[in-house]
Amino acid sequence: MIDRIDHIVLTTRDRDACIRFYTGILGMRLEKFTTPTEERLALKFGNQKINLHEWGREFDPRAHVPVPGSLDLCFIASAPLEEVIAKLAGAGVRIMQGPVMKTGAAGPIRSVYVRDPDLNLIEISVPAGPELAQSPAISTSTRSAAA
């Protein structure tokens, strides 16, 4: 019955910091769109988007308790994980954990974990081949980038 996720909604305390993180660091595109009652903002990537709600000014309908920092998202990167790590480090984003092996929707993935400006947990991953899935050095390692 369900085929895919079209969009999710992120509630943010600081719209500008949120937009800078997702566009400037993660490379998403900011899009403005209108509904019959208001103008809205979304972060686009691939065939998906993240609609933005500002905390205390959410659009209806909305989640029962929309709060900043409550999301745990995993994004599949279009670049090698080493490039992702370098980009995060260059932007001063602390890597909380990783690279580590995890299980994604389509199979094994290598991941790093960071926090966005609202403290949502953001996992950035790449598909992992079977040779990496067996590597104990990768599956148990953690690292921090310079903040």
Distance CA 137, CA 142 (A): 10
Instruction: Tally the residues of the chain.
Output: 147
pLDDT in tens, the chain (147 residues): 999 999 999 999 999 999 999 999 999 999 999 999 899 999 999 999 999 999 999 988 889 999 999 999 999 999 999 999 999 999 999 999 999 999 999 999 999 999 999 999 999 999 997 655 554 444 433 343 333
* Cα dist from 95 to 5, 13, 90, 107, whole Å: 27, 22, 12, 23
- Which residue among the candidates 31, 38, 39, 123 is catalytic per the annotation? 123
Distance CA 44, CA 141 (A): 31
Tell me whether residue 123 is one of the annotated catalytic residues: yes
Q: Which of 25, 15, 24, 9 has the alpha carbon at shortest distance from 94?
A: 25
* Cα dist from 85 to 29, 123, 124, whole Å: 20, 12, 9
Residue 27: CB atoms within 10 Å: 13
In degrees, rounded to 5, the angle at the alpha carbon of residue 100 between the alpha carbons of residues 143 and 70 is: 85
